[in-house]
């Protein structure tokens, strides 16, 4: 059975190293052939909007737009329903390929057999 990875990112520009680690692990897993679902929550929610990843900078790290593009191309990116609502983000605001879903969808993903969940 193939394993898959669900990564929940809770940090954004407020904790840049933790944020970048999540995106880096997601992209590395995809490059290794692992199925990845990346959840944007808390301050990482802003990266579901066009241009926001370009504003992120962390020395000695892969550019966040490149990592996000890699996940969008080969994995799935989900924005937390409540996190989107708190920030007045709607489906019409999102980067193509990002979906909005809530806790029931997250729980379903992480309780599926063969799934490893990581939270950053």
pLDDT digits (tens, 9 = 90+) for 8-58: 999 999 999 999 999 999 999 999 999 999 999 999 999 999 999 999 999
Alpha-carbon gap, residue 18 to 60, rounded angstroms: 14
CA atoms within 13 A on the CB side of 36: 29
Alpha-carbon gap, residue 19 to 56, rounded angstroms: 10
What pLDDT, on the 0 to 100 scale, is given for residue 1? Answer: 58
For 58-72, the pLDDT digits (tens) are 999 999 999 999 999
What pLDDT, on the 0 to 100 scale, is given for residue 77? Answer: 98
- Give the chain's mean pLDDT: 97
Once rounded to an integer, what is the mean pLDDT over residues 99-104? Answer: 98
Beta bridge pairs of residue 99: 78
Residue 106 in tokens: 């997250």
Determine the distance from the C-alpha atom of residue 70 to the mean position of all C-alpha atoms in its chain, rounded to a whole number. Answer: 11
């Amino acid at each position: 059975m193939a394993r898959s990875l669900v990564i929940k990112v809770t940090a954004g520009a407020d904790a840049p190293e933790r944020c970048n680690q999540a995106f880096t692990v997601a992209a590395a897993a995809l490059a290794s052939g692992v199925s990845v679902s990346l959840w944007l929550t808390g301050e990482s929610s802003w990266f579901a909007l066009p241009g926001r990843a370009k504003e992120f900078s962390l020395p000695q790290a892969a550019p966040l737009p490149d990592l996000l593009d890699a996940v969008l191309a080969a994995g799935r990116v989900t924005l937390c329903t409540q996190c989107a609502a708190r920030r007045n983000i709607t489906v019409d605001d999102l980067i193509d390929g990002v979906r909005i879903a809530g806790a029931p969808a997250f729980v379903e993903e992480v309780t599926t057999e063969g799934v490893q969940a990581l939270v950053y």
